[in-house]
Structure 1
Amino acid sequence: MSLVRPFEAADAEAVASLFQRMLRKLRAPAPAALTAYIRDFYLETPERGDGIASLVHVDDTGRISGFVGVHALPMILDGRPLRAAVCGSLMADGRDRDPMAGARLLKAFVDGPQDLSFSETANAVSARLWTRLRGVVLPQYSLDWVRVIRPAGFAIELAAGRAGPLRLLKPAAAAFDGLLRRSLKPGDRRWAVAREGEPAKAAHASEIDSAGFASLLELLSAQFALRPAWRDMPLERMLADAAARPDLGALVFSRVETPNGAVTGAFAYHARAGRIGRVLQVLARPGQAGAVMDSLVDDAARRGLCGLRGRTQPALLEAMLTRKLAFVPVASSVVHARDAGILHALKTQQAFLNGLAGENWSRLIGGRFD
């Protein structure tokens, strides 16, 4: 008879094989580095919550046929400490033999001791399972945003995702983009192009290290009723994991200040010249989101990126709508909570979620293990 039980160290190799085949879409055996990372990430981290654990599904032959990766996230709601659990990799193999394996895994997860269950990477199938278990989809947290900086380079970079040799056309694209950018007048911000290194009028960005960025998180998220308890999180390890994804480029941390030196925001993103930068986190004080976004785009243009891509937050959405961004539904942010106060904060966009308050910092998303 099939069962769901907590993930154990001896399960890591089988879970890595599932991850390699189902999520990485690779036929080669899972590398030892992936097995080790999965074991350490889900079992050896000091922030594991009491009773909050990753789960495996074992079929009636004793084979591990499913997995849900879980890590604890300490949070605060109006000063009250909460235990949140982030649902990462949800996998279920052999649907023809046991079509309910995924549903059993997810139900066992949301029935755990945590106050809040959350995922920012739910696909359409997973989102339906969440809603059947009385979970809630959060539309304004569920969009990816895209900003084009060099249009020809951006188009080639998108196409190269399927046909890598197309990057040989990069020099021609760079020449076209250079002509287009030189045609812009100062202050001109079009949908598909931004001037290189144009200074923001309301604020300017200066690069800082990961420790400096971590020190700003509490200050710049204080306006949210529901937010991470940053002091209780292993931020040094999380930011080191986020940085250990060389294919995405170097992880850049910046502080945004007004001309008189007041801190108005911060951002962290992966920057690699000629590529589309992946934004990990954008933070802004109330009323300053526009200036922070302008500083981010200017910084990316100066570093030679052809575009940016990140995850929305409702607090940034109004400023984003006036700044030549496109929005793409890629995955849903979904939550489950029994406390009405928690659900109210989530439904009224008073919560700080996604990025570091989620799972996109993990090496399991975009990392290399070869």
Structure 2
Amino acid sequence: MAGKSQAGMVRDLEVGDLQMVASLFAKTFRRSKPPTASLTDYLQEVFLNHPWSDPDICSKVFVEASGQVTGFVGVFPSRLELDARPVRAAFAGSLMVDDPKGNPLAGARLLRAFMAGPQDISITETANHTALGMWQKAGYPLDPGYSMGWLRVLRPFSAAADTGGRIVPPAGILRPVGRILDRGAALARLMPFRPAERTASKVSFSDATPEQFATAMMTLSRHFPLRPRWDERTLLWFLAQAQEKRDLGYPEWRVGYGPKGQLLGAYVYFSSPGNIGWLLQAVCAPGSEGELVDDLFAHAYEMGYSGVRGSSHPWLIPALMSRRTMLYGRSFFIADARDKSLLEPIKAGRALVSGLAGETWTRLIGDRFD
């Protein structure tokens, strides 16, 4: 399908577009040199060879009359279910236009083309401020619960050095200084950010393999009325993609059980010693949120990380707020559906539609393509 005008046209992504899309991605999001073949290959893998590929739900490109691709919206097809009812879903990520000032309507046209697709529900969980403006002008408001970012500082000097290094790379040379100051604070017993002990917890968490984590995710997802229709093969594909996020460190897979051996929680986060960890996915049975958060913070502290951050897990927010966690807005979550009943679990904060269940599993977030 395509929409034409003198200013260009919007159509489905094709294999021949991938090199131009990779160049646009590198320019827009990485500000880097010309893209490598690995980035082009990855775009083909996730946008054209996705395990849930749907010929009717495709990424879109904006093409000038010259044939040059100057706009793109990446679309991930998804298979959800609402109380066992199949739901056809699509996630929009990587909305970009080469010259938004010169062609201010290109982004809006890409967005309209995405929303006009046959999916039952349309979602994005990674809209930046520019994309958010496009969504809101089109009449789609953000969802506050799934747009919330959070940060729990564990070692304040190291966390400050890590944050500074991410904003201004040369400031990364201060990381060793931060670690020294945090060690000094620990020796002086000045550790106001140290997490609570887990001795009284009714949930026992332990390290797990990706396969064990996948099994736990499929079981625990049943606590959420709107959730992915995973099977082992597709979920392991998402996990394999996520494991390659080299800029975020290494994954820590954790699964928790109750005193009678019942499965109660699971989470995965990424980090390297001294740096701030990033929570990709958390899921748990109702009533176990506090134990999951306590284990996450305690484990990260024991591993030597300076803090943990995350987003888009609204069922965890009450537990996070009561444990010295800072909340903020960073990327924005928006959802719309023709059948508005599909939005009720999202409004209630009981939908599993972010992280591994959304679009932030992709290597386009948190990986390098050398």
TM over 0.5: yes
* Matching of residue 228 in structure 1 with residue 228 in structure 2: yes
Other-structure match for 1:136: 141
Deviation at 1:278, TM superposition (A): 1.1
Question: Does the 8 Å CA contact 2:277/2:308 hold for their aligned counterparts?
Answer: yes
Question: Does the 8 Å CA contact 2:214/2:232 hold for their aligned counterparts?
Answer: no
Distance 2:28 2:218 in 1: 37
Deviation at 1:199, TM superposition (A): 3.5
Other-structure match for 2:303: 303
- CA separation of 1:171 and 1:259: change in aligned 2, threshold 3 A: farther
Q: Within 5 A, what are the aligned runs for 1:294-333?
A: 294-333=294-333
Other-structure match for 2:76: 71
Other-structure match for 2:194: 193
Q: Within 5 A, what are the aligned runs for 1:9-158?
A: 9-26=15-32, 28-158=33-163
Deviation at 1:131, TM superposition (A): 3.1
Structure 1 residue runs of 5 or longer lacking an equivalent are none
Other-structure match for 2:282: 282
Distance 1:218 1:57 in 2: 37
- Please say which of residues 110-119 and 336-345 is displaced more in the overlay: 336-345
Distance 1:331 1:130 in 2: 13
Secondary structure at the counterpart of residue 75 of structure 1: strand
Deviation at 1:142, TM superposition (A): 0.1
Runs of 4+ in 1 over 4 A off after TM superposition: 182-185
Deviation at 1:315, TM superposition (A): 1.2
Question: Does the 8 Å CA contact 2:252/2:268 hold for their aligned counterparts?
Answer: yes
Other-structure match for 1:293: 293
Question: Does the 8 Å CA contact 2:158/2:182 hold for their aligned counterparts?
Answer: yes
Question: Does the 8 Å CA contact 1:200/1:295 hold for their aligned counterparts?
Answer: no
- Please say which of residues 5-14 and 159-168 is displaced more in the overlay: 159-168
Distance 2:172 2:334 in 1: 36
- CA separation of 1:47 and 1:233: change in aligned 2, threshold 3 A: farther
TM-score (norm 2): 0.93
Deviation at 1:165, TM superposition (A): 4.5
Other-structure match for 2:14: 8
Distance 2:50 2:232 in 1: 13
- CA separation of 1:130 and 1:172: change in aligned 2, threshold 3 A: closer
Distance 2:343 2:306 in 1: 38
Q: Aligned pairs, how many?
A: 363
Distance 2:156 2:104 in 1: 44
Question: Does the 8 Å CA contact 2:150/2:310 hold for their aligned counterparts?
Answer: yes
Other-structure match for 2:3: none
Distance 2:92 2:290 in 1: 31
Deviation at 1:325, TM superposition (A): 0.5
Residue 11 of structure 2 aligns with an amino acid whose one-letter code is: R
TM-score (norm 1): 0.93
Other-structure match for 1:170: 175
Residue 200 of structure 2 aligns with an amino acid whose one-letter code is: K
Other-structure match for 1:361: 361
Question: Does the 8 Å CA contact 1:7/1:55 hold for their aligned counterparts?
Answer: yes
- 1:152-206 deviation line (CA, Å, top 9, x unaligned): 1001111112444444443432232124335559xxx84x3337xx444213321
- 1:84-105 deviation line (CA, Å, top 9, x unaligned): 1010110112223321000000
Distance 2:313 2:149 in 1: 10
- CA separation of 1:355 and 1:20: change in aligned 2, threshold 3 A: same
Question: Does the 8 Å CA contact 1:73/1:233 hold for their aligned counterparts?
Answer: no
RMSD of aligned alpha carbons: 1.9
Deviation at 1:233, TM superposition (A): 6.8
Structure 2 residue runs of 5 or longer lacking an equivalent are 1-5
Deviation at 1:20, TM superposition (A): 0.2
